[in-house]
């Protein structure tokens, strides 16, 4: 029971450690993590009696009281914001955490017109509360584990008991338990450990901050990983079709939405193929263009000193620089920067004779179709394939574009995350999942790959 001495020893040079001695009991807490009002309400008010009983738990009206068995537990509780009460025979910990996070705000990376405007924040219990408001069932389970030697962050896995695939849950849990790292800051770092095939450029997991997206995925049979101090949640397993559609698609009419879904799917391939196709047609297979258009192109390219491929590379790279700087710069100066970028890439480059106007149109089309996706990871993945297509088209023309297309298909079809294929509703063709994501129709069944409980109905 020399906990007091040990605590004074270990936390020697901390200025926010407070040790209070009230009538032979010691109250220890860290001022930065604890809420003073709660300490007053739960503890200090009730110590004003004459005789303090042996079992202090009967005295304290706090809702969360835990007994301490070992010294490591005491350290853990102290660092989480609990107040430690040390008596001669007993040591207990009472929860008095202060609220150090921001309020619930509207989502800023996945905005929609219709739908709920709540987003997760850094507090784990708030996030869990937002999800449990949407799924009120005893089958929603969540486990927890601690990751990180210094950071000791809590990571939790959520799933619905009779819908999700329990083997997958076990695999994810064992993987999380095997993580050995100093500290973990955000859920993005957790991604690297959960996914074992890091060579593929496409993202393996989806990150979201909307609780309605999370509840929709849980009901389909997917598994959610959440972390304290991170306002995002991971969805496992993910397929390519999920990145293409936002959650607000469910809130509109099927017939109108299907047109947009097909458009988005084609935009994925369009933004990869267009620069390569343009180079192939202009330099190898000029017969595909109608005569008048070809004459226009020839006139526009007269003053440009570079070959087409160099022109294309210059424009693509400067667009990437522009986009990167747009994200980093604070938004108050942001509007002036984008005007500058537009001027530089547009008018000035054309009149200086560095690029031709048609190249600017092509690159603009490429970037506009890639901005349809909300996830930054997919845009980073598409970039590599765009350059690969450009390279093969520049050497082999239209034939090279076709071969590069088969390369892309093979790469997408061979990517598997926890044995679930990435190109899922299309390559191993599954009608039920297709009706949920890529072409919305009325659907009563869950897909075979995600859950063994096929029929919706039993809650």
Partner 1 sequence: MKKLFLAVLILFTLTGCFNYHELENFGITSSILFDYEGDEYKITIEIVEKEEEEDKQVLYEGSGKTISDALQKALLSAGKKLSYYHLNAVLLTENVDIHEVLLYLIRNPQINNSFYVVLTESKEVYDNEEDDLGKTVSEILKATKSYSFFDIAEVLFDDKLDMALPYLSKELRIDSVVPYHQFKQLEKLNFEETEIYKMLANVNGSNVDTKCSKDKNFTVNVNSVSTSFKFEDKIKTKVKLEVSIAEFTCDFDLREPKGIDKVESLANKQIKKEIEEVLKKIKDGKADLFGLNQIIYNKRHTLDKSFYDYDFEVEVETHINKKGLIY
Partner 2 sequence: MKRDFNILNYFNMRALFLGVGTAKILITAKEYFLISLLLGTLLGVGLLFLFRVELKNKIISTIVASILFIIAIILLIHMISTMYLTEMPKLLIGIPIVLLVLYIISKKEIVLYRVSTILVVINTILFALTFISLIRYVKWSNFSYTDTSFMKVLFAGVQYAIFSTVPTFITRDKEMSDYSLIKTYVISSFTMGVIFFLTFGILGPELINQYRYPEYIILKKVTFLETLANLENIISFVWVFDILMLLVSCANTIKKCINHNKITYLFLIGILIFVSFISKFYQSILYVYDYTLYILISVFLLLYLFNRKKNHKHLKKENPQA
Q: How far is the CB of 173 from partner 2 (least distance, A)?
A: 27
* CB-based contact 430:448 (threshold 8 Å): yes
- C-alpha 121, offset from chain centre: 13
The residue (of 99 and 285) whose beta carbon lies closer to partner 1 is 285
Distances (CA, A) of 205 to 72, 256, 357, 359, 401: 35, 28, 39, 34, 29
- C-alpha 441, offset from chain centre: 27
* Residue 296 binding target from partner 1, partner 2, none, CB below 5 to 8 Å by type: partner 1
* Residue 302 binding target from partner 1, partner 2, none, CB below 5 to 8 Å by type: partner 1
Which residue blocks in 344-440 are alpha helix, DSSP H?
Answer: 349-352, 357-370, 376-396, 398-414, 431-436
* Residue 99 binding target from partner 1, partner 2, none, CB below 5 to 8 Å by type: none
* Residue 252 binding target from partner 1, partner 2, none, CB below 5 to 8 Å by type: none
* Residue 354 binding target from partner 2, partner 1, none, CB below 5 to 8 Å by type: none
* 3-state helix/strand/coil string of 189-227: HHHHHHCCCCCCCCCCCEEECCHHHHHHHHHHCCEEEEE
Write the binding mask 242 to 281 for partner 2: x where contact by CB under 8 A, - elsewhere. ----------------------------------------
Q: How far apart are CA 146 and CA 138, in angstroms?
A: 24
* CB-based contact 319:367 (threshold 8 Å): yes
Does 299 contact partner 1 by CB under 8 A? yes
Residue in 159, 197, 194, 202 with CA at minimum distance from that of residue 177:
194
Does 295 contact partner 1 by CB under 8 A? yes
Residue in 254, 232, 274, 222 with CA at minimum distance from that of residue 389:
274
Cβ-Cβ contacts under 8 Å for 446 (sequence gap 6 or more): 163, 220, 221, 432, 453, 454, 455, 456
Does 307 contact partner 1 by CB under 8 A? yes
Which of 26, 98, 126, 283 lies at the binding interface for partner 1 (CB under 8 A)?
283
- C-alpha 325, offset from chain centre: 22
The residue (of 295 and 376) whose beta carbon lies closer to partner 1 is 295
The residue (of 260 and 403) whose beta carbon lies closer to partner 2 is 403
* Residue 414 binding target from partner 2, partner 1, none, CB below 5 to 8 Å by type: partner 2
Does 291 contact partner 1 by CB under 8 A? yes
Size of the site for partner 1 (CB under 8 A): 20
253: phi then psi, degrees, rounded to nearest 5: -75, 145
Q: How far is the CB of 284 from partner 1 (least distance, A)?
A: 5
Residues pairing with 416 in the sheet:
421
Q: How far is the CB of 401 from partner 2 (least distance, A)?
A: 9
Does 282 contact partner 1 by CB under 8 A? yes
Does 285 contact partner 2 by CB under 8 A? yes
Cα angle at 368 between 189 and 397, to 5 degrees? 95
Rounding to the nearest 10 degrees, give the CA dihedral for residues 285, 287, 289, 293: 110
* CB-based contact 319:345 (threshold 8 Å): yes
Does 135 contact partner 2 by CB under 8 A? no
Which residue in the block uniquely carries the two structure tokens 């009608």? 431
* Residue 410 binding target from partner 1, partner 2, none, CB below 5 to 8 Å by type: partner 2
* Residue 142 binding target from partner 2, partner 1, none, CB below 5 to 8 Å by type: none
Which of 296, 380, 414, 444 lies at the binding interface for partner 1 (CB under 8 A)?
296
Write the binding mask 353 to 392 for partner 2: x where contact by CB under 8 A, - elsewhere. ---------------------------------------x
The residue (of 9 and 287) whose beta carbon lies closer to partner 2 is 287
Q: How far apart are CA 407 and CA 414, in angstroms?
A: 11
Write the binding mask 391 to 430 for partner 2: x where contact by CB under 8 A, - elsewhere. -x---xxxxx-xx--xx-xx--xx------x-x--xxxx-
Does 385 contact partner 1 by CB under 8 A? no
Does 9 contact partner 2 by CB under 8 A? no
* Cis peptide bond N-terminal to 237, omega within 30: yes
The residue (of 276 and 421) whose beta carbon lies closer to partner 2 is 421
Q: Which 3 state secondary structure label does DSSP give 173? A: helix
Residue in 157, 303, 318, 323 with CA at minimum distance from that of residue 225:
157
Which residues are at the interface with partner 1 (CB under 8 A)?
282-284, 286-287, 291, 294-299, 301-302, 307-308, 391, 394-395, 397
Which residues are at the interface with partner 2 (CB under 8 A)?
284-285, 287-288, 290, 392, 396-400, 402-403, 406-407, 409-410, 413-414, 421, 423, 426-429
């Amino acid at each position: 029971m020399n906990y007091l001495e040990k605590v004074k020893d270990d936390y020697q040079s901390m200025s926010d450690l407070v040790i209070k001695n009230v009538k032979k009991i010691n109250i220890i807490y860290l001022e930065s993590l604890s809420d003073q009002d709660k300490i007053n309400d739960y503890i200090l008010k009730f110590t004003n009696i004459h005789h303090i009983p042996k079992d202090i738990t009967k005295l304290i009206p706090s809702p969360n009281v835990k007994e301490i068995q070992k010294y490591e537990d005491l350290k853990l509780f102290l660092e989480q914001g609990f107040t430690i009460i040390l008596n001669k025979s007993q040591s207990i910990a009472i929860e008095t955490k202060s609220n150090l996070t921001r309020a619930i705000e509207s989502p800023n990376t996945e905005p929609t017109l219709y739908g709920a405007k709540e987003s997760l924040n850094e507090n784990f219990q708030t996030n869990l509360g937002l999800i449990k408001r949407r799924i009120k069932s005893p089958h929603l389970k969540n486990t927890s584990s601690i990751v990180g030697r210094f950071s000791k962050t809590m990571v939790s896995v959520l799933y619905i008991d009779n819908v999700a695939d329990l083997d997958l849950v076990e695999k994810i849990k064992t993987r999380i338990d095997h993580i050995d790292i100093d500290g973990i800051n955000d859920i993005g770092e957790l991604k690297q450990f959960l996914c074992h095939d890091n060579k593929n450029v496409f993202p393996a997991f989806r990150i979201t901050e909307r609780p309605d997206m999370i509840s929709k995925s849980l009901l389909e049979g997917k598994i959610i990983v959440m972390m304290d101090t991170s306002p995002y949640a991971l969805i496992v397993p993910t397929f390519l079709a999920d990145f293409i559609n936002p959650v607000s698609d469910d809130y509109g009419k099927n017939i109108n939405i299907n047109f947009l879904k097909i458009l988005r799917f084609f935009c994925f391939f369009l933004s990869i193929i267009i620069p390569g196709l343009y180079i192939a047609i202009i330099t190898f297979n000029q017969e595909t263009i109608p005569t008048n258009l070809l004459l226009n192109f020839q006139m526009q390219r007269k003053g440009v000193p570079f070959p087409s491929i160099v022109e294309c590379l210059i424009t693509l790279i400067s667009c990437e620089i522009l986009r990167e700087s747009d994200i980093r710069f604070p938004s108050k100066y942001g509007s002036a920067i984008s005007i500058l970028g537009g001027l530089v890439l547009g008018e000035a480059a054309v009149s200086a004779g560095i690029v031709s106007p048609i190249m600017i149109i092509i690159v603009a089309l490429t970037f506009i179709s890639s901005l349809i996706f909300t996830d930054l990871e997919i845009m980073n993945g598409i970039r590599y394939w765009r350059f690969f297509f450009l390279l093969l088209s520049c050497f082999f023309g239209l034939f090279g574009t076709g071969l590069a297309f088969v390369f892309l298909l093979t790469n997408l079809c061979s990517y598997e995350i926890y044995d679930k294929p990435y190109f899922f509703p299309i390559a191993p063709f599954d009608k039920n999942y297709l009706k949920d994501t890529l072409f919305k129709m009325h659907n009563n069944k869950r897909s075979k790959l995600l859950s063994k409980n096929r029929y919706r109905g039993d809650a």
